[in-house]
Amino acid sequence: MVDDGGAPAEGASSKGTSAKGTSAEGAGAWGQAVAAVALVAALGIGLWAFQGTSSSSDGAQPPATCSGGEAEKKSRHVSGAQLCAALNRPDLAELLGTPGQAAKTAGGSGSSVKLGNGKEIATPSAQVEFETCTVTLSATYDGHPVAGSAALLGDGARQRTVLDRPAVVYADRTISIRFRLDGSDTDSGPGVPARTLTVAQDAKDSGGSFEVSLWRADGAVPDDAVLLRVAEKVLPTVPGWAAGG
């Protein structure tokens, strides 16, 4: 997860998104590779150049519409644009417990990560930002099962079942990036706490995952009940979800 702009920026990460600030510590080689995937995707999310915000004369803010994402094309992978369309739903603010808030920005990214062995892993992602919190949705096509991965994701990671599929809930953290407008200097460090839910892409857990991450602007730890509520509504609307059942 990454924070961007002249002030701290925040972006999301998880097993398949990429900026696991501390969640990969102590993990084995596979766990570190997963964390690396998460970090890169998170960086991509945090540095998107979309600002779908506009203001009317009375200060009211209309909902943001999805921007960014690769051009649609036939693929066995879901695209960033499709993830954004699933995440940026009309009732998202209500699901997040912030009814009445309008999304400030929304966008998708068709990113990928190349591992040391030369293998490239698709990590499409989407992010919707509100005034009080930010939520991301990503997919990772790494071929690894979700069951048993809790041990690789740091203390407190809990294996569970969500929507009848193996899942893991764990603590994460955004990355804060500060830079001067003239580009002369940049600085990065730990951002705010986040909670992430990783869910298997199919009921047989044959490899790959979807991930929902949530963090708050005030730096408080997000409520897992809110994270699960969003995931249970959003994930079934992702293209191809039903086929993986």
pTM: 0.74
Give the lowest-confidence range in 112-116, 182-186, 227-231.
182-186
Lowest mean pLDDT among 31-35, 64-68, 171-175, 206-210: 31-35
pLDDT for the residue numbered 208: 95
Judge whether 60 and 42 are in contact, CB under 8 Å: no
* pLDDT per residue as tens digits for the range 48-77: 333 333 333 334 445 789 987 655 555 689
Residue ranges of domains in the chain = 2-244
Per-residue confidence (pLDDT) for residue 14, from 0 to 100: 40
pLDDT range class, residue 217, cuts 50, 70, 90: very high
pLDDT value at 46 more than 60? no
